[in-house]
Amino acid sequence: MIDVLFIGLSLASILLLVALGLAITYGAMGVINMAHGELVMVGAYTTVMSGIWLKLGFLASIPIAFLVAAGLGWLIERLVVRWLYGRLLDTLLATWGVAILIQQAVRLEFGLSFLGIHVRGLGPGLQNVSVPGFLQGTFTIGDLGINTYRAFIILVTAALTVLTWFILYRTPIGMQVRAIIRNPKMAAACGIDVDRVNALTFAYGSGLAGIAGVMMSGFKTVFPDMGTSMVVDGFLVVVVGGVGSLAGSVLSAGLLGEINGLVASGTNDILARAVVFAVVILIIVLKPQGLFSYKGR
Amino acid sequence: MVFDRRQFLKTGALAATALATPTFFHRAARAADSIQVGVLFSLTGGLSIIEKSLADATRMAIEEINAAGGVMGKPIDIVLEDGASDPKTYAEKASKLVIRDRVPTVFGSYTSASRKAVLPIFEKRNNLYFYPTYYEGYECSKNVVYTGAVPNQQLSNFIPWIIKNLGKKKFFIVGSNYIYPREMAKVCKILIEANGAEWIADEYLELGHSEWGSMVNKIKTSGCDVVLSNVVGDSVVAFYREFKNQGLSHDKLPICATVTSEIEIAAMGPEYAVGSYTSFPYFQAIDTDTNKAFIERYRKFVNDPKAVTHHALESSYFQVYLWKQAVEKAGEATPEAIREGVKGQEYDAPNGHVKVAPENLHTYLTPRIAQWGADGQGTIVDAYPEPVFPLPYVAYGETKENLFCTEKGLDVAKLKG
């Protein structure tokens, strides 16, 4: 039974890892960032590329992936999203377009493949990321074999969640972000540089996606389409948790992960997914604002 | 020199006409003294990763034939179309090839979905399609020549071998949730029971899904001693990684796969697959001069010294030669003549001797089992002594003595009984 709960917890941590960034960009800024999955993919490819070209290990690529994804996120905010605040559906369409651009850039090796030049680590194929030996296999607690890599993901997710909480609730810039969530115009009137804070927030959310990408690359397949399915799960977590609530995202990721794990072990994975979707629908019907919601002013 | 707009338009229009004309005449002029064939694979979209390599192998065979003097002294002209990883596009492009270009044969398709989409066009127009991929069987068309393995050619040696040589008794069958793995599972169960072993589970995961935590945990607690995997596509990588990360080893509990090829092994990292098995008629590791020369030529053709060859790719290559021999035997390049000509046609392919069965237009292939090593290559641990007769309906009780699919077509009465 404990092994099933552990798998549930692991599923939850993976959901949360992707959702953390979204909780910030969607929850806090009201931007439906469809390119979030692609930022995860960029993080994964950063791991591949830094392994091949910089000879860096898996762990060393975490900060690089954060910086690359954050930089890309910052660019997206400056070039596209900045013009679309307050227009929810337009952000969806625009960032979807950005997502396709990023995907094709990776697939076509930034256009070099048209010229017959091939860059190792890019292109339409599957990529291989090697994971350090101490993260492979299992360790045992009592008579329970724990999957080391999944335990590692849980730790990383927990650390990032705490970090994000700390930034949001214990730093001056976090307070500014929260002020903007509640009421951007009033925040601006109080002297907060909304433009700058928004750009930084978006970059930070994107950077989190980059780290999620590194984690995913260690046990999932790295290829240009990998982000597409993740962004859907990420939005489920954020919507169920309540837009703008970090605690809500944590709770809903835990809930959906455990439901998935339990149902899958009792029946099968296909049914588990259906049950998860049914639960999501039920929660949205009963609590349209999500599990945790605040009153906007 | 300064252009005004009118001048620019005039010059532009002239230039465009000049550029367009040669191709326009070119095709009409070439058509008379060459044989046109269609090549239809996904060059874009999600499936392009693998289908592009099939298109390359097909083009390579055609260029080789042309360099050696063509077919009946005529060069082969390729009409290349892109199926765009979408069955609907496949159907449109197939119609275009058959109706407008009037090619007598099309080489194409990787997935069953795309083959099923184009099948009605070839049957209605009585044209001919060469299909290079291993597939689930359950098809009997006089308009398709199948050169990939059907279930009995991947499993009929594999399952008895696992039971006898590895001494395994309890199978856990796992696959992606669509028609191919489900049909494969049917054949597996027949063979497992016939060989005195048992299967204890038959589980599926969504196609393209890569969360294996629960499934591998189930495998771990199920008490099975061998896993038979019909998992396809990018899920394979996540499966093998999760398998090792949950502390399972291929020494005690090997994964025996029907679809895991050199490509997936390279992507997951060979350390995750060391000791596991795959059954295919062709592996890059086949140690013959024909195969080595083939790999070398292919790498040169695609300009990639590390390019990987695999079963469907090899079939894409040799089926063009089968087609060439059929045209030469028939003496004319019409679909009916080629179909009659291809029956019983034999060729020494990189995987060994192949032959088109006259009864059902499927191909005799030699099943092989490979064990994966640390270098990402297989070691052939078992090969059937001779090519095996293809039985597309083996899951429904077809045997060589009692064929369901013959030259007259499918015997529906037998299928129901």
CA distance B404 to chain A (A): 34
Contacts of A268 in chain B (CB under 8 A): 203-204
Longest CA span, chain A: 60
Closest residue in chain A to residue B243, using alpha carbons only? A137
Interface check A264 vs B, CB under 8 A: yes
Q: Do the Cβ atoms of B304 and A147 come within 8 Å?
A: no
Residue ranges in chain B modelled with pLDDT below 50: 1, 21-31
Q: Do the Cβ atoms of A273 and B206 come within 8 Å?
A: yes
Q: Please report which helix (H) or strand (E) contains residue B72, including its range.
A: none
Give the pLDDT score at A212.
93
Which residues, at least 6 apart from A51, have a Cβ–Cβ distance to it below 8 Å? Answer: A57, A58, A61, A121, A129, A130
Span A125-143, average pLDDT: 82
Length of chain B: 417
Measured between alpha carbons, how far is B212 from B217 in angstroms, rounded to an integer? 8
Measured between alpha carbons, how far is B156 from B148 in angstroms, rounded to an integer? 15
Interface check A266 vs B, CB under 8 A: no
Q: Do the Cβ atoms of A138 and B246 come within 8 Å?
A: yes
Contacts of A113 in chain B (CB under 8 A): none
Q: Where are the domains of chain A?
A: 2-112+130-226
Q: Do the Cβ atoms of A269 and B246 come within 8 Å?
A: no
| Residue B130, token pair as written in the block | 């060469």
Measured between alpha carbons, how far is A35 from A21 in angstroms, rounded to an integer? 11
Give the pLDDT score at B28.
44
3-state secondary structure of A200: helix
Q: Do the Cβ atoms of B266 and A128 come within 8 Å?
A: yes
Which tens digits make up the pLDDT trace of B248-261? 999 999 999 998 88
- Cα-based angle B221, B224, B226 (whole degrees, multiple of 5): 130
Lateral strand order in the sheet of B170-176:
B198-205, B170-176, B226-230, B255-257, B277-280, B368-372, B378-383
Class for the domain spanning B153-280:
alpha beta
Contacts of A269 in chain B (CB under 8 A): 203-206, 209, 211, 214-215
CA B193, distance to chain mean position in Å, is: 28
Choose the closest CB to B237 out of A124, A126, A260.
Answer: A126
Q: Where are the domains of chain B?
A: 153-280
* Closest to A3 in 3D by CA, of B202, B219, B194, B236: B219
CA distance A171 to chain B (A): 36
What backbone torsions phi and psi does residue A89 show, to the nearest 5 degrees? -70, -30
The DSSP secondary structure of A241-297, one letter per residue, reads: H-TT-HHHHHHHHHHHHHHHHHHHHHS-HHHHHHHHHHHHHHHHHH-TT-SS-----
Which tens digits make up the pLDDT trace of A35-55? 999 999 999 999 999 988 888
Which residues, at least 6 apart from B140, have a Cβ–Cβ distance to it below 8 Å? Answer: B360, B392, B393, B404, B405, B409, B410
* Average of per-residue pLDDT values in chain A: 88
Q: Report residue A80's pLDDT band, with 50, 70 and 90 as the boundaries.
A: very high
- In B34-112, DSSP assigns E strands to 35-41, 76-82, 106-108
CA distance A161 to chain B (A): 22
Contacts of A223 in chain B (CB under 8 A): 49, 234
